[in-house]
A and B are shown apart, each in its own frame.
Chain A
Amino acid sequence: MVERCYVPKSLEEALSIRKETGAHPLAGGSDLMVQYKQGLGITPVFPFPVMIISSLDDLKGIETLEDGSILIRALSTPAEIASFEGMPYPVRCAASRMGAVALRNTATIGGNLGNASPKGDLPQPLILLDATVVLKSQDGEREMKVDDFILGSKKTALADDEIIYAVRIPRVEYTHVYYRKIGTRRANAISKLSLSALARVEDGVVVDFRAASGAAGPKVIRSHETEDILKGHGVDEMDSLMPAVLEGWNNAISPHAMPEYRRATTRRMLEHFLSSIAAHQEGGIIE
């Protein structure tokens, strides 16, 4: 059954079509056109109505707001995100390692969140940074944490009449930051596993510590309980606290495939990050 396809000319029209028909927004196409492909020479067939929103200027652009947060509108591509000045390091890394050049010109942040693939690259650093997603409908706007928006593999809290308008990354102070993606190969790769982490150390005390694991479960994993183990403690206590952090993290992740590899590697990367905090109190990007 071939469902309808709409091409709205404005955000208002898109919201109206969304409300009336429930049409799914299609932005770059890099997820949906592949998911519903039919093969060579055949137009993809979608089991639901679709609206192509790629031309909507209201959904384009990235800017830094007065409070220091960064607003990334839904149609922003990984290439645009990676080259935006002031983009936090883990987001820049994730965006600049998504697929290859053409995909980074095609995919969108809205699509990457809306599709909610466990292997998606952008949700992981966004969840690390407590980013929020701004959702619009004809009835108005609401904003929620990306971590709450993504419910599970391919499941989101998007209502039937809403579309993703933007992502907002709050300003987060950190002294230490880490990002690693292990892909199927060194470029043009799907993530097998990823980890980002950050810490803020002031006067030898860990004021903030966070970590986020991608592709290690049905959705990106953060464990606030585990993060709390370190907060407020001196860096000199790291050795004694580390086992509890690593154990807590190991309990938090739930890899289906390659569990041994994902658990062991996550543990080693996190251990490396934590040891590096202790070893390099002045901070910086941990390689």
Chain B
Amino acid sequence: MTRIDDRIRRVDAAEKARGEAVYLCDVKMEGMLNARFVRSTIARGMIDSIEVPQLPDGYWFISARDIPEGGRNSLVMIAGDWRCFADGDVRYVGETIGVLVGPSPAVLKALEKEIRITYTEREPAITIDDAIAVKGGPILEKDDVHCSLVSEKGENVEDVLARADEIFEETIETGFQEHVHLETNAAICCIEDGKYTFYISCQCPFYVRKSVAGLLGLQPSDIRVKQTTTGGAFGGKEHFPDVLAGPLLVAESVIRKPIRLVFDREEDMLYSVKRHPSKIVFRTGLDKDGNLLGSDIDVYYNCGAYLSSSYVVLQRGVFHANGVYDFPSTRIHGYGMATNTFPSDAFRGFGAPQTLFAIETHLDHIAAKFGFDPVEYKRRYFLKQGDETVTQGHVVEKVVLEEMLDQVARKSDYWRKTKEYARGGGRGIGMSFYNHGGAFTGNGEQSIIKAHLKLVKDGDRFTILCGQTEMGQGFRTILRKIVASVLEIDMDDVVYDNPDTDCVPDSGPTAASRSTMVVGRLAEEAAMQMKERLDEEHVEIETEYRHPDGHPWDQSTFKGDAYLGYGWGCACVEVEVDRLTNEVKVVGIWSSHDIGKAIDELIVHGQVNGGIIQSLGYASMEKMENRNGHFRQTSMSDYVVPTSMDFPRQEWGLVDNPYEWGPFGAKGMGELVFNGADAAYIDALERALDVTINRIPMPVEDIEGVRHD
């Protein structure tokens, strides 16, 4: 019998370690063809001509012309502006113009080089500043602003700033980040039982069918999507698989044989979505003693050429822009800027990490200016239960930041070290605080998703049917553990396979830290109902999402409770900096999180470790540059992510704070653990070198510049 507190083995561990798990690249089908994208080589311009050479027998070139009448050249990824195939003009380097299909990857590669595309180029806008200046003329109808919103609380912020003794102004910037899931993006499209069918490495199978159906004038239910074992995603396989699936579907409608598309690493690096670069401008009013009066914050995200899901990313950024602090007054303007870069998209944290990094760093700088210990300064403003949020809603849950701070400070010996390490002494300790709103923003779980889950009993076997995917985070194990624990049976008697959209109900995307919190709850409820009917041979129970009472939200004004509940975090990082070379050695990492209640400590441990290392990579070594629309880092040797040698073993802890609406009290946590180690690292680095840092990443060569500022 499995209990929720048992230490268990992940259900997929052994098959993966044995090399038996079947990822997309391992799937073979009779007569399967390969595909290769033909892409734009310029960032912005008109396509004058496309010359395709005489193709050998059995090879095809598919483009916008092959979209049938009644079909729409659009991929629906919240917004529907991202085109399946560029048609007439191109808006970013790597935009799909066509797809070559045929048996041999080598021949496809050679053919790609023979296709001649001529363009009339226009000056591209690449950076946020380019977009603000509308460089090269507007990308959109009148300017380069895809989307914008404003959030306010307290007094009118201009009045507050007018009476402040001091206005602290600064700009903080963050860079691109590439997901580098070890398995690259990959999909197969074929026809099974007369139905278009995808095998695909993805987070959200229902998103795929919804996104691409319109290309052929079909309904989503006309398309079947089967998720294959997914080798990491981190948001990079939330919407982006649609960009592979669309052209494959159009090709399939013409060719009608299984077609496989597997990106190699270079393609995945150069031609996939990234984390939104950001520029965040603060004007913060302070009294003469350094007390916070209010802050006017402009948040700019580089969304790239298409809006796709970026408005939602921006909203999350804006709603997290005051961090875990109760600003007396604030006004946050968010702007999603259109540029001619590869569209930015979901990446663990979904817009929150940028503003959280900025607010932490900004407060560190204010504290340093007034001579406060940054932690002492920040804790004065910690949000508490009942406090007003930036969307004029309230913090509903108990906030345990003080307990987390206490846990981390004790383990790291923070209070001693912060006093003993002289600023500029080569050694530094830094701390950050952060949160993450669980699940969809506002009432999206109710109004947009309305998740469903089925639990089926056949004799002694229980099968969970839902659309949530395992991508490495451990959800296949978590969900089986929840159901088994409620039913007081062994996990081995619970079945939960990779979803197939023809067999499972739509439980919403595997994203937004919502799987355990929302879908896990549906499973818990289903299992509780099932428990009453264990004497029956065959039982089917379907549960449907119900929005908890007392969380008002107005989607038209963005006012109310932006999230049902938050995960909370505290991270501490200690560094030693080599004065000769600027190499930063991290000597300690400590963290504490409130995730409600951990469903499985070992899985949570893995998420904490991995999220923190990704965040430290983001702050330090992960530099992705774009010149004229081309990413300069093309491989895993020039876009480097952390190895086992880069960071030391972490100490981690949790503060239990059960969440009423989550299964066994659990809240979301997958993104939370990414949201703060970056700021703690930069805080430590600033203290070690006595410098001010206003941007990440900060590799050794950029530290050199900061040292001379």
B645 at the interface (CB under 8 A from A): yes
In chain A, what residue has the closest Cβ to B583?
A: A182
Chain B residues closer than 8 Å to A41, beta-carbon distance: 34, 105, 262
Binds A, one of B493-501, B527-535, B698-706: B698-706
A223 at the interface (CB under 8 A from B): no
> Measured between C-beta atoms, what is the minimum distance from B580 to chain A in Å?
5
Q: A40-B262, A40-B264, A261-B700 are in contact. Are A268 and B580 (CB under 8 A)?
A: yes
| CB-contact partner of B638 in A187, A190, A269, A272, under 8 A | A190
- Main secondary structure, interface of B, reads loop
- Tell me the number of A-to-B contacts counted with CB atoms below 8 Å: 78
Per-residue interface assignment for chain A, residues 161 to 192, with 1 indicating a CB less than 8 Å from any chain B CB and 0 otherwise: 00000000000000000001010111111101
Can you list 7 A-B contacts (CB < 8 A)? A41-B34, A42-B109, A184-B699, A185-B643, A190-B638, A260-B708, A269-B580
Q: A182-B583, A187-B644, A269-B581 are in contact. Are A264 and B704 (CB under 8 A)?
A: yes
Closest 3 CB pairs of A and B: A187-B645, A261-B701, A40-B264
Indicate if the CB atoms of A38 and B643 lie closer than 8 Å: no
Indicate if the CB atoms of A39 and B109 lie closer than 8 Å: yes
Indicate if the CB atoms of A182 and B644 lie closer than 8 Å: no
Indicate if the CB atoms of A40 and B580 lie closer than 8 Å: no
Chain B residues closer than 8 Å to A187, beta-carbon distance: 643-646
Q: Which of B580, B646, B699, B705 counts the most A-chain CB atoms under 10 A from its CB?
A: B580
Q: A39-B105, A184-B621, A265-B580 are in contact. Are A192 and B640 (CB under 8 A)?
A: no
- A167-226 contacts to B (CB < 8 Å): 180, 182, 184-190, 192-193
Indicate if the CB atoms of A188 and B643 lie closer than 8 Å: yes
- B562-579 contacts to A (CB < 8 Å): 579
Chain B residues closer than 8 Å to A190, beta-carbon distance: 637-638
B106 at the interface (CB under 8 A from A): yes
- Assign chain B's interface to a size class: 20 to 34
- Give Cα distance in the complex from A188 to B640, angstroms: 9
Chain B residues closer than 8 Å to A193, beta-carbon distance: 581
- Give Cα distance in the complex from A272 to B638, angstroms: 29
> Measured between C-beta atoms, what is the minimum distance from B264 to chain A in Å?
4
Chain B residues closer than 8 Å to A185, beta-carbon distance: 621, 640, 642-643, 645-646
Indicate if the CB atoms of B106 and A268 lie closer than 8 Å: no
Indicate if the CB atoms of A192 and B701 lie closer than 8 Å: yes
Chain B residues closer than 8 Å to A260, beta-carbon distance: 701, 704-705, 708
> Measured between C-beta atoms, what is the minimum distance from A96 to chain B in Å?
13
Chain A residues closer than 8 Å to B262, beta-carbon distance: 40-41
B48 at the interface (CB under 8 A from A): no
- Give Cα distance in the complex from A272 to B699, angstroms: 22
Indicate if the CB atoms of B646 and A268 lie closer than 8 Å: no
- Give Cα distance in the complex from A104 to B704, angstroms: 31
- B121-158 contacts to A (CB < 8 Å): none
Chain A residues closer than 8 Å to B264, beta-carbon distance: 39-40
B463 at the interface (CB under 8 A from A): no
Indicate if the CB atoms of B106 and A38 lie closer than 8 Å: yes
B540 at the interface (CB under 8 A from A): no
- Give Cα distance in the complex from A269 to B580, angstroms: 6
- Give Cα distance in the complex from A186 to B642, angstroms: 9
Chain B residues closer than 8 Å to A43, beta-carbon distance: 106
Indicate if the CB atoms of B700 and A192 lie closer than 8 Å: yes
- Give Cα distance in the complex from A187 to B642, angstroms: 9
B582 at the interface (CB under 8 A from A): yes
Indicate if the CB atoms of B646 and A186 lie closer than 8 Å: yes
Chain A residues closer than 8 Å to B387, beta-carbon distance: none
Chain A residues closer than 8 Å to B109, beta-carbon distance: 38-39, 42
| CB-contact partner of A261 in B105, B643, B704, under 8 A | B704
B420 at the interface (CB under 8 A from A): no
B458 at the interface (CB under 8 A from A): no
> Measured between C-beta atoms, what is the minimum distance from A121 to chain B in Å?
13
In chain B, what residue has the closest Cβ to A193?
A: B581
Per-residue interface assignment for chain B, residues 607 to 637, with 1 indicating a CB less than 8 Å from any chain A CB and 0 otherwise: 0000000000000010000000000000001
Chain A residues closer than 8 Å to B705, beta-carbon distance: 260-261
Q: Which of A40, A258, A260 counts the most B-chain CB atoms under 10 A from its CB?
A: A40
A100 at the interface (CB under 8 A from B): yes
> Measured between C-beta atoms, what is the minimum distance from B103 to chain A in Å?
12
> Measured between C-beta atoms, what is the minimum distance from B299 to chain A in Å?
30
In chain A, what residue has the closest Cβ to B263?
A: A40
> Measured between C-beta atoms, what is the minimum distance from B365 to chain A in Å?
24
Q: A41-B105, A265-B700 are in contact. List 13 more A-B contacts (CB 8 A).
A: A39-B264, A39-B267, A40-B105, A42-B105, A184-B637, A185-B621, A185-B640, A185-B646, A186-B643, A186-B646, A190-B638, A192-B701, A260-B704
Indicate if the CB atoms of B621 and A182 lie closer than 8 Å: no
Chain A residues closer than 8 Å to B645, beta-carbon distance: 185-188
- Give Cα distance in the complex from A212 to B704, angstroms: 22
- Give Cα distance in the complex from A42 to B262, angstroms: 12
- Give Cα distance in the complex from A40 to B638, angstroms: 19
In chain B, what residue has the closest Cβ to A38?
A: B109
Q: A192-B700, A264-B704, A272-B580 are in contact. Are A42 and B106 (CB under 8 A)?
A: yes
Indicate if the CB atoms of A184 and B701 lie closer than 8 Å: no
Chain A residues closer than 8 Å to B643, beta-carbon distance: 100, 185-188
B660 at the interface (CB under 8 A from A): no
B222 at the interface (CB under 8 A from A): no
Chain A residues closer than 8 Å to B106, beta-carbon distance: 38, 42-43
Chain A residues closer than 8 Å to B704, beta-carbon distance: 258, 260-261, 264-265
Chain A residues closer than 8 Å to B699, beta-carbon distance: 184
- Give Cα distance in the complex from A6 to B582, angstroms: 47
> Measured between C-beta atoms, what is the minimum distance from B35 to chain A in Å?
12
B402 at the interface (CB under 8 A from A): no
B266 at the interface (CB under 8 A from A): yes
> Measured between C-beta atoms, what is the minimum distance from B701 to chain A in Å?
4
Indicate if the CB atoms of A268 and B644 lie closer than 8 Å: no
- Give Cα distance in the complex from A132 to B464, angstroms: 69
Per-residue interface assignment for chain B, residues 685 to 707, with 1 indicating a CB less than 8 Å from any chain A CB and 0 otherwise: 00000000000000111001100
In chain B, what residue has the closest Cβ to A263?
A: B704
Chain B residues closer than 8 Å to A186, beta-carbon distance: 583, 585, 643, 645-646
> Measured between C-beta atoms, what is the minimum distance from A13 to chain B in Å?
29
- Give Cα distance in the complex from A182 to B703, angstroms: 14
Q: Which of A41, A186, A258 counts the most B-chain CB atoms under 10 A from its CB?
A: A186
Chain A residues closer than 8 Å to B638, beta-carbon distance: 184, 190
Indicate if the CB atoms of A182 and B105 lie closer than 8 Å: no
In chain A, what residue has the closest Cβ to B620?
A: A185
Indicate if the CB atoms of B701 and A189 lie closer than 8 Å: no
- Give Cα distance in the complex from A186 to B641, angstroms: 11
Indicate if the CB atoms of B646 and A184 lie closer than 8 Å: no
Chain B residues closer than 8 Å to A188, beta-carbon distance: 643, 645
> Measured between C-beta atoms, what is the minimum distance from B23 to chain A in Å?
13
> Measured between C-beta atoms, what is the minimum distance from A51 to chain B in Å?
22
Indicate if the CB atoms of A268 and B579 lie closer than 8 Å: yes
- Give Cα distance in the complex from A77 to B646, angstroms: 25
Chain B residues closer than 8 Å to A42, beta-carbon distance: 105-106, 109
In chain A, what residue has the closest Cβ to B636?
A: A188
- B652-709 contacts to A (CB < 8 Å): 699-701, 704-705, 708
Per-residue interface assignment for chain B, residues 524 to 559, with 1 indicating a CB less than 8 Å from any chain A CB and 0 otherwise: 000000000000000000000000000000000000
- Give Cα distance in the complex from A182 to B578, angstroms: 11
- Give Cα distance in the complex from A272 to B637, angstroms: 30
Chain B residues closer than 8 Å to A182, beta-carbon distance: 581, 583, 700
- Give Cα distance in the complex from A178 to B207, angstroms: 57
In chain A, what residue has the closest Cβ to B699?
A: A184
- Give Cα distance in the complex from A272 to B621, angstroms: 26
> Measured between C-beta atoms, what is the minimum distance from A155 to chain B in Å?
22
> Measured between C-beta atoms, what is the minimum distance from A284 to chain B in Å?
18
- Give Cα distance in the complex from A41 to B621, angstroms: 30
| CB-contact partner of B582 in A38, A40, A261, under 8 A | A261
In chain A, what residue has the closest Cβ to B107?
A: A42
Chain A residues closer than 8 Å to B266, beta-carbon distance: 39
Chain B residues closer than 8 Å to A264, beta-carbon distance: 704
- B33-57 contacts to A (CB < 8 Å): 34
Per-residue interface assignment for chain B, residues 583 to 595, with 1 indicating a CB less than 8 Å from any chain A CB and 0 otherwise: 1010000000000
